[in-house]
Amino acid sequence: MSPSGVLALLIVSFCAISSLRATATQVTYDDRAIVIDGKHRVLVSGSIHYPRSTAQMWPDLMKKSREGGLDAIETYVFWNAHEPARRQYDFSGNLDLIRFLKTIQEEGLYAVLRIGPYVCAEWNYGGFPVWLHNMPGIQMRTDNDVFKNEMQNFTTLIVDMVKKENLFASQGGPVILAQIENEYGNVMSSYGDEGKAYMNWCANMAQSLDIGVPWIMCQQDDAPEPIISTCNGWYCDQYQPPRSNIPKMWTENWTGWYKNWGGKDPHRTAEDLAFAVARFYQLGGTFQNYYMYHGGTNFGRSAGGPYITTSYDYDAPLDEYGNLNQPKWGHLKQLHDLLHSMEDILTTGNVSYVDLGDSAFGTIYSKDGGSSCFLANVDPGNDKAINFQGMNYTVPAWSVSILPDCQNVAYNTAKVSTQTSVMVKKANAAEEEPNSLKWSWRPEMNEKTILLGKGDVTTDQILDQKEAANDLSDYLFYITSLDLKKDDPVWSHNMTLRVKSSGQILHAFVNGELIGSQWAKNGGERFVFEQNNYGAFFDTAPSGITGPVELIGYRGDDETIVKDLSSQKWSYKTGLEGLNQKLYSSPSLKWQQDSFPVNRTLTWYKSSFKAPLGTDPVVVDLLGMGKEGDCKLEPCDYRGSYDSNKCLSNCGRPSQRWYHVPRSFLNGNGDNTLVLFEEFGGNPSSVNFQTVAVGSACINAEENRKIELSCQGRQISAVKFASFGNPQGSCGSFVKGYCEGSKDASSVVEKACVGQESCTIDVSEDTFGSTTCGDDVIKTLAVEAIC
């Protein structure tokens, strides 16, 4: 007699200031430009999403944005964050949209409010609350009354809040533009006639809210009057506005890209980004927005698909911590300042375009006897000698030269004269902080109780994770148990379990034993695939375990027996015990000091630490914990069209090692508690806190310009390298060339810079002495300074 075995199956799946009253500002537009109080504008804007930073960071981010030459800050509004349960609202802390808009206003910037409320943005469920999905009869983003009522309710709520605080420009506030929907034109045809009807409804609904400033829709060529359709993409220079009476606008110029788990670090060069911007204004643009200007951090459960890391740095001009990402920030600042100085002629002058042949294009803007010119070389490989209006110019490959007087080149997008900052991480310098943290731990599961197979809800089929968990957690336990007798056809020695899942991570337990874990690699894979935020009907795509769940038995040579468990009784338990019990803040819960485990799945670790001294941004280094990525390292060439597979770095290392811990999260004087949850198995003994700051600053600039070196708030302590002439190499590996100025460049730079927070240097023979380089060598200054 063989006893019957009880098989308990447990599967976890992870899816992912007061009102400043000013006079009203009139915002209108014509076919050339956005017009503010009668003035035609060249507007440069940058996206910063308020919940991806902290309210304490906002003033500094805005200040650095204004100093970087921005006119406006753009943000989405995140519906699921504000209405986590139907008609229950949250605008507290980092969700304080009104405070964010007021901070923008206090810095003298305009705001662009992209209400959506579908936003995409690599945000959880594209910004839709999951309860919406669970409303009877709902169909999202189409002509469906249930959805439209909810969308109108939320959009009206936001507009009313902003109005009440007088924050629209028409009321004297900063908001000059508002957006409804997001890139709906890209997916509309999949919704048939109802898609078109919905789009028109969106336009009418928005218009009826009477905000006194223009509404925009992005990627919506058929947006009805008076709504302006705008372009999104890496490049929008070739974009033509779909109606003759609207200006050329670019709402998303992607400054880098998002990062996936298992993926690598994206990088878009300063040269290519500046090229894209200069081409856009060369060809008649009035407004362009960097997506992102500061990407920030996906705190909490906000990260969405496709399988996005906690960092949303985006290689943006301001990095995740709010530091200047140099040379990107500075190279673009010079471009913005120049474009603004040409604002009137660019937006009201006569324009003529000249095809100079061989991938070279000139543009001449003229007005009142004056003129300003652009010279582009869009050849991705070859520099060009161009004769333009009787003068000779060399325009590097894939670059634009700007000549504000049509004679002298004031800026070329491929010639970066701004410093490169090398950021370094420093050990926690808090007093009495030991070298390594002291840890205690707790298992997530009490195997004895949970494996009895009782969850909160029981059904006869496998439920979609959105329906079963209702977004209360990213974790859902699918539990079933069955009597399996040895005479069951499926019974064999090497039985396997096959699960079809669309969750991003899955751990499978049988009778309390972990039998395996799988997670989506960058781009998804056979076992589990990534959940996207994008495309028609993305909201109804399956999540969690889709089924079937099968036991596979093997007999003889090739014979397999499949036992389908999909219509077993399944019960569900939402969330992690540790989070449900708030173990990060409950002092009464027991933690173990002994038999400290490494490489144990689903384990909590706890430690205490002192906040690092000073004001530099803080990160926690999670070296030793789970999640890795791989890629192929190739040299980065700024030339040619950028896409997210170009110029990658961080191959073969953990996809994310450092996590931003905003200063406002920390208790400056006393102890702080760190609680980590390790899903796959890791070793926390190397985990530690660090600060991020500029380690060194490098310049490589041509003669006849003023350069600035800065250690961003700390002093320049030494000059490691300086040479004026034809130095070679790049930051960290500069070497002298065959010719040099007669003065000792190092002592010139030391005298000007050491002991200062920043210094300016005239790159010329006057400063560095005459050289023997000869006339056909363009002399450059290379400096590496230590902060």
| Residue numbers annotated as active site | 183, 252
Dihedral, CA atoms, 625, 626, 627, 632, nearest 10 degrees? 70
Nearer to ligand GAL, 122 or 678 (CB): 122
Span of 117-125, 378-386, 402-410, 707-715 interacting with ligand GAL by CB under 6 A: 117-125
Nearer to ligand GAL, 218 or 397 (CB): 218
Does position 258 interact with ligand GAL (CB under 6 A)? The reply is yes
CB of 211 to ligand GAL, least distance (A): 21
Q: What is the DSSP string of 676-738?
A: EEESS---GGG-EEEEEEEEEEEEEEESSEEEEEE-TTS---EEEEEEEES-BS-TT--B--S
Q: Name residue 496's amino acid.
A: T
Do the beta carbons of residue 471 and residue 129 sit within 8 Å?
A: yes
Do the beta carbons of residue 571 and residue 411 sit within 8 Å?
A: no
Does position 235 interact with ligand GAL (CB under 6 A)? The reply is no
CB of 119 to ligand GAL, least distance (A): 6
Per-residue contact flags (x/-) with ligand GAL for residues 63 to 102, judged by CB under 6 A = ----------------------------------------
Exposed, middle or buried, 46 (CB in 10 Å: 0-12/13-18/19+)?
Answer: buried
Does position 122 interact with ligand GAL (CB under 6 A)? The reply is yes
Element (H or E) spanning 110, and its range? strand 110-116
Q: Name residue 540's amino acid.
A: T
Residue positions counted in the chain: 787
Nearer to ligand GAL, 290 or 734 (CB): 290
Tokens of 215: 């509404």
CB of 182 to ligand GAL, least distance (A): 5
Backbone angles phi, psi at 601, to 5 degrees: -70, 155
**CA–CA gap between residue 356 and residue 358 (Å, rounded):** 7
CB of 305 to ligand GAL, least distance (A): 10
In the region spanning residues 126 to 185, those forming contacts with ligand GAL, defined by CB under 6 A, are 182-183
Span of 19-27, 114-122, 333-341, 587-595 interacting with ligand GAL by CB under 6 A: 114-122
Residue that is written with structure tokens 């960058």 in the block? 522
Does position 231 interact with ligand GAL (CB under 6 A)? The reply is no
Count of residues in contact with ligand GAL, rule CB under 6 A: 9
Nearer to ligand GAL, 182 or 655 (CB): 182
| Eight-state DSSP code of residue 95 | G
Span of 50-58, 118-126, 136-144, 739-747 interacting with ligand GAL by CB under 6 A: 118-126
Span of 115-123, 340-348, 544-552, 731-739 interacting with ligand GAL by CB under 6 A: 115-123
**CA–CA gap between residue 480 and residue 107 (Å, rounded):** 57
CB of 82 to ligand GAL, least distance (A): 17
Nearer to ligand GAL, 150 or 252 (CB): 252
Does position 232 interact with ligand GAL (CB under 6 A)? The reply is yes
CB of 341 to ligand GAL, least distance (A): 31
Residue that is written with structure tokens 């002592």 in the block? 747
Q: Which of 9, 27, 70, 120 binds ligand GAL (CB under 6 A)?
A: 120
How many CB atoms neighbour CB 656 within 10 A? 19
| Eight-state DSSP code of residue 763 | E
Span of 120-128, 190-198, 437-445, 735-743 interacting with ligand GAL by CB under 6 A: 120-128
CB of 644 to ligand GAL, least distance (A): 9
Q: Are strands 440-443 and 603-610 parallel, antiparallel or unpaired?
A: antiparallel
User: Which residue, judged by CB position, is nearest to ligand GAL in the bound state?
Assistant: 120
Nearer to ligand GAL, 307 or 361 (CB): 307
CB of 262 to ligand GAL, least distance (A): 18
User: What Cα–Cα distance (Å) separates residue 320 from each residue in 315, 412, 419, 618, 712?
Assistant: 8, 28, 19, 11, 16
Span of 119-127, 275-283, 426-434, 687-695 interacting with ligand GAL by CB under 6 A: 119-127
Nearer to ligand GAL, 206 or 308 (CB): 308
Tokens of 418: 């701004």
In the region spanning residues 491 to 550, those forming contacts with ligand GAL, defined by CB under 6 A, are none
CB of 232 to ligand GAL, least distance (A): 6
Nearer to ligand GAL, 119 or 277 (CB): 119
- Separation of CA 195 from chain center: 29
Q: CA end-to-end span of the chain, whole Å?
A: 78
List all residues 6 or more positions away from 611 whose beta carbon is below 8 Å from its beta carbon. 430, 618, 663, 666, 667, 668, 669, 672, 689
- Please state whether 116 falls in left (phi above 0), alpha (psi between -120 and 50) or beta: left
Nearer to ligand GAL, 154 or 388 (CB): 154
**CA–CA gap between residue 66 and residue 336 (Å, rounded):** 11
Rounded to the nearest 5 percent, the helix, strand and coil shares of the chain are: 20, 35, 45
CB of 203 to ligand GAL, least distance (A): 18
Tokens of 562: 């499949």
**CA–CA gap between residue 100 and residue 294 (Å, rounded):** 14
Binding interface with ligand GAL (CB under 6 A): 119-122, 182-183, 232, 252, 258
